[in-house]
Amino acid sequence: MLDNPQKTIYEMIGGGETIRRLVDAFYKRVGEHPGLKDMFPDDLTETADKQYLFLTQFFGGPQLYSEKYGHPMLRARHMPFAVTPERAKFWLGCMREAMDEIGLEGPVADFIYDRFIQTAHHMVNTAE
């Protein structure tokens, strides 16, 4: 699957710099998406910072999110929001476009996107 099982996904994609570029490209889309923007604050700075910390940890980098906020508890933290299957699809679309924008491709990108698919489906808490 991936070239070097000794390296984390975080290392394979270029570390924090790549994660930051991904998060920035992603939230640029989320902030403009008619099916998602109402779920987020107008100022996405804090949300993007949390996503950066989380993705750094999620892909094997430093445990930045846990050090600052405790265990991620993703599903519990998303329960106050109506996450429908359609919104999960929109979220995934924004993430795919962000990955494409920053040039994340190949087997590592496929692996990452598969993890995003699993996570997005796990966050669904409301029917359409």
Residue 75 lies in a domain: yes
Nearest to 75 by CA among 63, 88, 86, 64: 88
Known binding positions: 121
Known binding positions for heme: 121
pLDDT per residue as tens, the chain (128 positions): 456 678 999 999 999 999 999 999 999 999 999 999 898 999 999 999 999 999 999 999 999 999 999 999 988 888 788 899 999 999 999 999 999 999 999 999 999 999 999 999 999 999 97
- Amino acid type, 43: D
Residue 4 lies in a domain: no
pTM, 2 dp: 0.91
CATH of the domain at 51: 1.10.490.10
Q: How many domains does the chain have?
A: 1
Domain extent for 31: 10-123
Residue 1 lies in a domain: no
